[in-house]
Amino acid sequence: MIKKLIDEIVKKDAPIVVGLDPMLSYVPAFLLEERKEALGETPECAADAILEYNKKLIDAIYDLVPAVKPQVAMYEQFGIPGLKCYFDTLKYAKEKGLIVIADVKRGDIGSTSAAYATAHLGNIKIMNKEYRPFESDFATVNPYLGTDGVKPFVDVCNECDKGIFVLVKTSNPSSGEFQDRLIDGRPLYEHVADKVVEWGAASMDGTYSNVGAVVGATYPEQGERLRKLMPNTYILVPGYGAQGGKGKDLKHFFNKDGLGAIINSSRGIIAAYKQEAYSKYGERGFAEAAREAVLAMKKDIKENL
């Protein structure tokens, strides 16, 4: 699957993934108002408005970027209607030819991780028939439980041609609290990186592995070091834009082949219409504003590589 992602990155000349993380405050008010009469002030109303928002965003950007990354928490908070919206969003993105990175950060003991891997990357067998629970191509995975919590995901990657990105050094301010602590003179995240390389060796797909890593744009020095430690690992880089990561910080996340990293932006794209720079589009032009923001991000990354 990583090969397919790389092909799409090269084809669209964009190492960019758009995070579909629809906080209700990002959703233009008119989308909610239009549905309020029929659906009431309900989770169903919110979910339907978010689905329309996502579809219009996807329509506006699907020819520019290889992938989208829905953050499942933003859907889970609306209960079952929210998760139905998540399901429909994945389906719509796939129909538009996009690769879907499910930002689920799952991870548990072996048998439970196997169930999560089935949910997000695999097929569930019901008696004699098989179904895909959710239509995603990659999932993000939490490594705290060690190898037996990650291996079931790697197994499904191999069975179903899928991929994962394992949390190594996250983008948030307190990520260093545990991740930066020194073990035998090296930070925990480097030990996790060693394991990512080991796990990844069991699922190579061309030059890179289906087992990738998450390293935040907000930690460029650590990114440079991790790039060298994991030469065949694709790095998913969140934290660009709204979280503070800048184009000039991204250079060292890439390998000399120009590959090896894919940069995520969520708020900076999907809520671009709220920024001064895109105010001319107004609330009803949210999708065009998102398209402009993708083009600006593309330029920013190009100029800094």
Enumerate residues 152-181 that contact its own copies by CB under 8 A.
167, 170-179, 181
Give the shortest CB-203-to-its own copies separation in angstroms. Answer: 18
- Give the DSSP letter of residue 1: -
176 φ, ψ to 5°?
A: -75, -15
Q: Does 240 bind its own copies (CB under 8 A)?
A: no
For its own copies, which residue of 4, 8, 12, 43 counts as binding (CB under 8 A)?
43
Q: Are 98 and 20 in contact (CB under 8 A)?
A: no
- Which one, 8 or 52, has the nearer CB to its own copies? 52
Tracing tokens 């995240």 back to the chain, one arrives at: 189
Distance CA 202, CA 14 (A): 28
Q: Which of 70, 107, 212, 241 binds its own copies (CB under 8 A)?
A: 107
Report, in Å, the least distance between residue 167 CB and its own copies. Answer: 6
Of 4, 94, 96, 115, the one binding its own copies by CB under 8 A: 115
Per CB under 8 A, the list member of 5, 51, 101, 119 interacting with its own copies is: 119
Q: Does 129 bind its own copies (CB under 8 A)?
A: yes
The verdict on 231 binding its own copies (CB under 8 A) reads: no
105 annotated active-site:
yes
Q: Binding to its own copies (CB under 8 A): which residues in 50-69? A: none
Task: Report d(CA 303, CA 11) in Å as an integer.
Answer: 19
- If binding is defined by CB under 8 A, does position 83 make contact with its own copies? yes
Tell me how many helices (H) and strands (E) the chain has: 12, 14
Which among 60-68, 145-153, 246-254, 272-280 is the span making contact with its own copies, rule CB under 8 A? 145-153
* Under rule CB under 8 A, residue 110 binds its own copies: yes
DSSP 2-70: HHHHHHHHHHHT--EEEEE---TTTS-HHHHHHHHHHH-SSHHHHHHHHHHHHHHHHHHHTTT-SEEEE
CA distance 282 to 162: 39
Per rule CB under 8 A, count of chain residues that contact its own copies: 75
84, 105, 195, 274: which is the annotated catalytic residue? Answer: 105
Active-site residues, by number, are 105
